[in-house]
Structures are given as C-alpha cells and as structure tokens.
A and B are shown apart, each in its own frame.
Chain A
C-alpha cells in the first residue's frame, strides 16, 4: 500500500495544476450544490422550517376570562398530549381608525396581546426592530422584517391614536409566524385596556392533521367550562394561507436548485474523468513497472480524491457562507423569517458524502477502462491514432479560407468527442441558466413594476379631524393639478377605492375607479385576456378575483352602492390591480353612472405619480410637502423583497454556475494542452506564433461556447416559458403577455455571446500558457 500512496502523492505533487483545477472545480461545484440543495430545502418546507425555528403555536386559543380563570388555564399545560404552552396572556381587540396611524399599515380591528417578553416555550417572537414594550403607552407591531441589509419600511416611535382609549408609541417591530397577535403591549398595559379574553398558545405532541389538533384541543377544554373557549385557530390554517403566497416563489427556487445541481455534477464528472483519461500513459508505465491493475486503480483514485476531498470540505464551508444571506433573502421572499436561515444539516451531510462519491464514480469509469488495458495499450492510448468523422471534419476545415490557427482550433473539439460532449453539456447548462436567470429577472421586475401601482411616488391627502397631521384643503382635482405642475412629474393616475355589494354574492367587492394617465402608466400592460376598458360601464378584473367569484371575460355584473344598482361588463382580465386586495378596475366615469350622488373626500384618493427619468424622488417628496403640508407623499419606487430575492438569487447562482462552467472549460483546455504538447511544440517550430497558438486554443473552446449558446438559449427560453406560467398558476394569477415576451433581439444577442464569453474566459489562461510552452523542452522530451 505504501508504494501506492507514495506514487499517488508524487503524482499529485507533479500535477499541481491539474490537482488545483480538480480542487477548485470540486470546491465551486460543492458550494453551488450546497446553495442549490439549500434552496430546494427552502422551497420544499419553508413554513415548517420557520415554524420549528419559532416554535410556533399549533393552536392559538382565546378563552372568555369571565368563564375560566388563569389558574385553570395554566393547569392545561399538564394535560397529556400538550407538549408546551405559553400564556395566559390578556387579549383585547382595539379598533384603530383610518387616521389613527396614518403612516403605517395599521388600521381597523387589531388584536393586542399583553406579553412580558417575546420568548417562551411557544411562539418565540422575532423582535427584529426596536425593543419590547415594557411601559405604559408602548406597543410592538407584528410585521414581516425586511430582507437582510435593507432598511425597515416601518418607522419607530410612530404614534397610534385610538379614539377614546389611548395613544401608543411604536417601540418595536416583531414577527410571529402563526400570527398570535397584531400587536403586543406589556401585561400591565394590556390589563389597563380592559381585556376581553385570555390567550393561550399550545403545542401538542401530535399535530400533523386537523383531527390530531381537534383531539388535542378536546383534551385541553375537557375539564374547562363548556363555553370557555371563545375561538381557536389551528396552525394548519395559517400554513394553508401562507402556501398561496410562497407558492409564487417555489418553482423559481426549484428551477435554480436543479440547474445548479445538474451543472455542478456534470462538470465534476468531466474534470475528474478527464484527469484519469489524460493519465493513461502514466497508467501504462505504472503497469510496466509491475503495479497490479488494482494498485493502479488505487493510485488514480487517491490522486483525484485528495484534491476532491479538500475541495469538497472547503466548498461545503463556502456554500454555507454563501447560502446564508441568499436563503435569508429567499425566506423573506416567502414572507417568513426563520431566524436562522442557514443551510440545514442534511444538506452538509449529503454533500460531504455525495460529492466524494461522485468524484470516485467519475474517476472509476475511465480508471476501470485503464484497468482492463494492457500496459502497452495504455501507454499508446494517449497518442493512439484516431479515425472517423472527427478527422474528416478537421480535413475539411484545413481546406477552408479560415486562418489556419482558427481552422485548427475549430477542429480540436472533434479529437476528443467524449470530453467535448461533457464540456459542451456544461456550457449548454451554463448558458441555459444565464438565459433563464435573465428572463426571470426581467419577468420578476416587470411583474413587480406592473403590480406596484406603476408609480414611483404615492400621494394622499391627510384625513380631516386628525390630531397628528394637518388636513389638506385642496379638492381632488386641485391636488391632481398641483402634482402635474410640480417639476419632475411625468404621469399621474388618480385611484379611488370603494366597496360595493356584488348582487348575487354575499361578500362585498372592492372597485377601483381610475382616471388620469391610466393608459400610459402600465395598467393595460398587465392584460392577460380580453381588452382594456374603453368606455363607461366596462371593467377589467384581476385573475384572482375572477377565479374566486367564478367570473369570466364577457360577464355582466351588477354592483350596488348607496341603495342604487348598476351593471358593468367585464371586458378584460388583468394580472393584478393597484396594491392591496384584488378589486374590479373601472373608469372614473363609471362611478358617475353607478353612484352619481356619492360624496367623496380628498383623502379617499390615492394619486399615483410616475416621475420623469432621472428625477430625484426624495426631492419630489419634499416638494409635495412644501406645496401643501396637508399632503402626504411616500416613496413607492423601491423594489419589493420578492424581486430582490429572485434577482439576487438569479445573479448569485448565475455567477457561481458561470464560474464552475468556466473552470470546466479551463480544465478541458489544460488537458488538451497537456495532450497536445508535442503538437503545439511542432506547430511553434514551424512558425506558429504565440498569438496563433492562443487563438487556436481559445477558438477550440469558443466554438463549443457558440454552439452551447445556440443550444442553451432556446433551452433557457423554454424553461422560462414553462416555469413562469407554473409560478403564475401557483399564485392564482394569469400570465400577462409582457411577462413572457421578455426577449429582445439585443438581449438574445448578448445571451448568445454568454456561452462564448464563458468558454473564452475559461480557455484564455491555459491557452496563454500553451503559447508559452518551451518548444525545445517539449520536443526534446519526446
């Protein structure tokens, strides 16, 4: 065994470049695989992961404090089947008026719970901004944190007024996955608010199904007064609700994960098997020296396993480091904050076992072939004459008008069809990934732009009667005129949101009346089916609402407001409307027909302003406030966390896969150079310049890159075409044509270049080193 080890060690030392390449390829591939598997894990069980991290409540229960005492509720923790409890907590529902927290997302009925701290055995709340509420008048609001590195969109120290009750100061923002409250205050503050119920949070030993949860709750309430339980919410309901949102994200993550996995494995296989094949002559010499076939096999396995093992360990570390912010972003995109967004342990275990197995397998296949060859055959295998189509192509190329260095380079890939195929596959997958990522980024940003209200600035009038803000005295049309007159304004759409009864349905429906620059501000771009409204009495409805209400384009629906009914015709289906719950979109003139007597106040309107290119958003906001202190203008141009997550994912994985692919190409050129040292020396001896040698070697890979580009682009486009509708379906939205037609000729041209660039970048360094080969040494060594 010592002879095997000594020989392998010497071979590793002698082949430093090859050892380094194997190590680097395995390192980057492993890192990519760790990130890819982490993404697959995130996409397959994001809720479970976040739920486990927060020790979410299986049941959030509210008890009537007049029917059951806190001592009785505390004793429920001892009931068999109850794993852990949190509570009792005083709970009260406060009604925050629309002007109570004018600048935050908070209004309407909110559940406020008194908790001394965010920790505990159940529902470990993530306090991500500010501090916990400890004193009177302090409140912590429940909100999803922003993506890592991005500032919070919610201000601290905001005042919230509640008519007739109290005024609070927001001292922190926290997040409870199971939504145990809308806001938290200290227990003393909760007591002062005259709580109406007592909250208990339960975790059960068995809670996988609704039946098990019902059984758990039956055990809990069994010894309590029959009407003590006011309400109970299972985590399964929250999970189901969460699935509709995160569903948008899952196919993106999976597609990237699978692409990363396949490309990385292919390249590891290519590099390792190439290293063994290039060592056939060495294998023959070892056999001639008296090494048994098994010993030769062992030498080669050790040779590739040493750098492979080191690369695997370092790659796992790098993958974990790279995955953390990436997965953090991904979870944010899913709307979860799992606290620890690191790679799960199983990914590290699978990678640390799987990658070495792939390395061994990739080495084993050609090594077994060498194992079967006689010493003489192995020695001559590296320089054996080749025949067939490859040679015919090379001959044909030599007769073309191309410069000889170019035609020789174009012929090189045909000399080693197996290696060329593997390298080509890697380039194809690389280009497919780049294409898919580019299309996806365009789609996602297009989607975000389209559904972001198509504005950069939103403006509202402060409501009258507010103690906190000065109301505006301007009318709706005066505000519109004011905004249009401000420097930097490009377009303005005025948006009025009213709730109507939908005749034939028990639930009301939101109707958004638009006027202004609707046509040029992106709304019609969101059309999925039908056409945009062209006259009063026509409406366009978001896909989600159409499905929920069982409507279709062409339907005529009757709406009722203020006791007056009117009909509108659905003429188009759109992806989504302005921010908020989906609503029917109609022209402002339609309101005049449906509710001509409706009195409207200026604060009911949202003015969506699109700024001219290059306009300073913050300067514009200041200008609005200066023009009328009664107006509240806010920056609405920021990209949402979903876009940030997808685009950052796309960029990072594309970069990693591009690096791995370029390393694969690098390795192929290194091997080709080594195999062709004699040929290169001869070519230089008859007058081939270093530049021509570089051109020849780079051309050989650029050709693969060009073909890879031509194959990878349609594959990437197909993946985009296939996955985007899946995403849309998961999110219950139709696919607007603009989301699929993201391919511009110049973009496709750039993508076609991507394969060539990856190949050329990978080939350039070894090609330069080939050009610098010492002819005297190479030819003399023969």
Chain B
C-alpha cells in the first residue's frame, strides 16, 4: 500500500507551532538505575519543525532520553523542559495531561488495544481529552483516511499488517495535534516495505511542520527523515550533526 502524499489537509493534523521556537530543552540530564548510569549529563535543544534522530548502540540511553522527554520517567538530576513546561514540576496527573496535549508517541510494537478496532484505537486519544465519541471518531476517520487506511477502520489490530498497525499508531499519536511526535524504533518491527511506508509518512509529517524526535538504530530511517542527528554513547552526547535528507 503506497504511503499518502503530504497534502494541505494533512497539515491540519499537526500542531500550529511557529518554526524556530525551542520545543525541547534538556539541561544536564542524568538518569541512574541503581549502579547503572543511563544518561550522564545530556544537554540538548530541539526546535519546532526539526526532525531529530537519536542514534547509538544498545544501552547508550536513547530510549531513556525519549522517556524523559515524554514524561514517562523522571530524571535523577537535571531538567527537561518541553514547550516551556518543566516536567519535573508536574505530578503524575500533570504529566498525563501534558502527554495528552503535547506529545504523540509511536512505539516499535505499536501498543494498540487489541479489544478495539482501528478507528476506536485512534479515537480513544481524543476521547480521553473529553472530546465526545462522535467527534473523536470523525477526526479519527479523517486521520485514517489521510494515512490511507480508512477502509481498515473496523478491523481489529490482530488482523492488520505491521505497517497498517503502525499507521494506526501514528494516527493515534496525531489525534490531539501534538507539539512533539516521539518515535521509538518506529520501523523496528516492520518488514522493509512497511518500514519504507512509515518512513515516508514521518517525512511528510515533518515537511508540513511536525516536530519529530526519532530514536532508532536504522541509519536509513535517520538519514531519510531527520534533519539533525544526535549520537549518544554511554549516556552522553557523543556527536551532533545536521543531515541532508536523502532524496
């Protein structure tokens, strides 16, 4: 199934941040798990409209950093500021509301609810914010339509292909027009064809202004979708460079 092309209507799915503002600011971020140091003084900024890929070997702290930015985990020291909000000041409920409004997440294993069909999986994110069911479903259907899987809306996740599941996950992540889209190995569980489709999709989203943070092992994904590459090693930023997107 071909990936959808970026269109003007597709742009309406994403947040309306102006380009250039700092969306994510990490200051001396440190995270320890017992005796293990996962992040060791990471300082980083991500601006609105950027697509940043974080790469590095296993255990270098990529996913830990992503979790900190999403407010899924708390740092041992240092600060995480997203969209002007310092996450360390928020309680669990505050973090949940923050994720709901500001963050969209895509996981390697999709993390869809098996009990709900594609449409309701997407609509769920809207309903949690209090949008009525009918309205949520309408927007979910628009998203699925833009992502090219509207005809699969009533299918349960178990009966969808990997690529379709990841597109449902992307649609769900976009449901509340997040300021920042986080993707943790989004093509890691997909075959090459489905992976290509997801890469195209992420590229399209970034091209219409969606700020993107990718955590990946996949050099191809990084060079294709990202505008900047951050390399982590042993919990530290080992290198940083601007990327020219592959054609």
Using a CB–CB cutoff of 8 Å, the interface residues on chain A facing chain B are 383-387, 390-391, 394-395, 398-401, 404-405, 411, 415, 678-679, 681-692, 771-772, 774-776, 779-780, 782
Enumerate B112-138 residues with CB–CB distance to A below 8 Å: 112-117, 120, 123-125, 127-129, 132-134, 137
5 A-B pairs with the lowest CB-CB distances in the bound complex, closest first: A687-B100, A385-B158, A689-B96, A404-B127, A682-B111
Tell me what chain A mostly uses at the interface: helix, strand, loop, or mixed. Answer: helix
Are A774 and B158 in contact (CB-based, < 8 A)?
no
Residues in B with CB closer than 8 Å to A401 are 132-133
Enumerate B62-104 residues with CB–CB distance to A below 8 Å: 63-64, 67, 70, 72-73, 92-93, 96-97, 99-101, 103
> A679-B113, A682-B111, A776-B73 known; A687 and B125 CB under 8 Å?
yes
Contact of A395 among B72, B96, B117, B134 (CB under 8 A): B117
Considering the chains assembled together, what is the distance between the CA atoms of A152 and B132 in angstroms?
68
Contact of B111 among A395, A400, A779 (CB under 8 A): A779
Residues in B with CB closer than 8 Å to A395 are 116-117, 120
Cβ of B84 to closest chain A Cβ, rounded Å: 18
User: Does chain A have a CB within 8 A of B23?
Assistant: no
Enumerate B50-71 residues with CB–CB distance to A below 8 Å: 63-64, 67, 70
Are B120 and A398 in contact (CB-based, < 8 A)?
yes
Residues in B with CB closer than 8 Å to A383 are 114
Using a CB–CB cutoff of 8 Å, the interface residues on chain B facing chain A are 63-64, 67, 70, 72-73, 92-93, 96-97, 99-101, 103, 105, 107, 109, 111-117, 120, 123-125, 127-129, 132-134, 137, 156-159, 172-173, 176
Cβ of A357 to closest chain B Cβ, rounded Å: 36
Cβ of A463 to closest chain B Cβ, rounded Å: 79
> A385-B156, A398-B124 known; A678 and B96 CB under 8 Å?
no
Are A687 and B129 in contact (CB-based, < 8 A)?
yes
Contact of A415 among B107, B115, B132 (CB under 8 A): B115
> A398-B133, A685-B70 known; A690 and B116 CB under 8 Å?
no
Are B172 and A686 in contact (CB-based, < 8 A)?
yes
Considering the chains assembled together, what is the distance between the CA atoms of A683 and B109 in angstroms?
14
Residues in A with CB closer than 8 Å to B127 are 398, 404
Residues in A with CB closer than 8 Å to B114 are 383, 385-386, 679
> A391-B156, A682-B113 known; A399 and B137 CB under 8 Å?
yes
A678 to B, closest residue via Cβ: B111
Are A686 and B100 in contact (CB-based, < 8 A)?
yes
> A401-B132, A685-B99, A687-B129 known; A782 and B111 CB under 8 Å?
yes
Considering the chains assembled together, what is the distance between the CA atoms of A678 and B172 in angstroms?
16
Cβ of B45 to closest chain A Cβ, rounded Å: 22
Considering the chains assembled together, what is the distance between the CA atoms of A95 and B178 in angstroms?
100
Cβ of B246 to closest chain A Cβ, rounded Å: 30
Are B111 and A684 in contact (CB-based, < 8 A)?
no
Are B115 and A692 in contact (CB-based, < 8 A)?
no
Are B116 and A398 in contact (CB-based, < 8 A)?
yes
Considering the chains assembled together, what is the distance between the CA atoms of A682 and B113 in angstroms?
8
Are B128 and A688 in contact (CB-based, < 8 A)?
yes
Are B93 and A690 in contact (CB-based, < 8 A)?
yes
> A685-B99, A686-B99 known; A775 and B72 CB under 8 Å?
yes
Residues in B with CB closer than 8 Å to A394 are 115-116
Other A-B pairs, 19, CB within 8 Å; known A686-B128, A687-B128: A383-B114, A386-B114, A390-B115, A398-B127, A398-B133, A399-B133, A399-B137, A679-B114, A682-B112, A683-B124, A686-B99, A686-B105, A686-B173, A687-B99, A690-B92, A772-B92, A776-B67, A779-B72, A782-B111
Are B93 and A687 in contact (CB-based, < 8 A)?
no
Contact of B128 among A387, A692, A776 (CB under 8 A): A692
Considering the chains assembled together, what is the distance between the CA atoms of A387 and B97 in angstroms?
32
Residues in A with CB closer than 8 Å to B92 are 689-690, 771-772
Considering the chains assembled together, what is the distance between the CA atoms of A782 and B63 in angstroms?
13
Are A774 and B73 in contact (CB-based, < 8 A)?
yes
Contact of A689 among B73, B93, B115, B156 (CB under 8 A): B93
Considering the chains assembled together, what is the distance between the CA atoms of A169 and B96 in angstroms?
81
> A404-B127, A404-B128, A692-B128 known; A411 and B97 CB under 8 Å?
no
Cβ of B177 to closest chain A Cβ, rounded Å: 13
Residues in B with CB closer than 8 Å to A404 are 124, 127-128
Cβ of B176 to closest chain A Cβ, rounded Å: 8
Are B124 and A686 in contact (CB-based, < 8 A)?
yes
Q: Which of B64, B93, B101, B114 has the most CB of A within 10 A?
A: B114
Considering the chains assembled together, what is the distance between the CA atoms of A17 and B132 in angstroms?
38
Residues in B with CB closer than 8 Å to A682 are 107, 111-113
Contact of A690 among B96, B113, B123 (CB under 8 A): B96
Residues in B with CB closer than 8 Å to A681 are 111
Are B111 and A687 in contact (CB-based, < 8 A)?
no
B169 to A, closest residue via Cβ: A682
Cβ of B238 to closest chain A Cβ, rounded Å: 22
Considering the chains assembled together, what is the distance between the CA atoms of A405 and B120 in angstroms?
14
Residues in A with CB closer than 8 Å to B70 are 685
Considering the chains assembled together, what is the distance between the CA atoms of A386 and B117 in angstroms?
12
Cβ of B39 to closest chain A Cβ, rounded Å: 13
Considering the chains assembled together, what is the distance between the CA atoms of A688 and B63 in angstroms?
21
Query: What are 28 contact pairs spanning A and B, CB under 8 A?
Result: A385-B156, A385-B159, A387-B156, A399-B134, A400-B133, A405-B128, A415-B115, A679-B111, A679-B113, A682-B112, A683-B128, A684-B72, A684-B96, A686-B125, A686-B172, A687-B103, A687-B125, A687-B128, A689-B96, A689-B97, A690-B93, A692-B96, A772-B92, A774-B72, A774-B73, A775-B67, A776-B67, A776-B72
Residues in A with CB closer than 8 Å to B64 are 776
Cβ of B199 to closest chain A Cβ, rounded Å: 22
Residues in A with CB closer than 8 Å to B129 are 687
Residues in A with CB closer than 8 Å to B63 are 776, 780
Cβ of A487 to closest chain B Cβ, rounded Å: 60
Cβ of A715 to closest chain B Cβ, rounded Å: 31
B175 to A, closest residue via Cβ: A686
Cβ of B31 to closest chain A Cβ, rounded Å: 10
A690 to B, closest residue via Cβ: B92
Residues in B with CB closer than 8 Å to A686 are 99-100, 105, 124-125, 128, 172-173
Residues in A with CB closer than 8 Å to B176 are 687
Residues in A with CB closer than 8 Å to B158 are 384-385
Considering the chains assembled together, what is the distance between the CA atoms of A758 and B158 in angstroms?
35
Considering the chains assembled together, what is the distance between the CA atoms of A401 and B136 in angstroms?
11
Considering the chains assembled together, what is the distance between the CA atoms of A281 and B63 in angstroms?
26
Considering the chains assembled together, what is the distance between the CA atoms of A774 and B92 in angstroms?
11
Residues in A with CB closer than 8 Å to B132 are 401
Residues in A with CB closer than 8 Å to B97 are 687, 689
Q: Which of A385, A679, A684, A686 has the most CB of B within 10 A?
A: A686
Are A782 and B133 in contact (CB-based, < 8 A)?
no
Residues in B with CB closer than 8 Å to A399 are 133-134, 137
Considering the chains assembled together, what is the distance between the CA atoms of A112 and B143 in angstroms?
98
Considering the chains assembled together, what is the distance between the CA atoms of A383 and B100 in angstroms?
26
Residues in B with CB closer than 8 Å to A690 are 92-93, 96
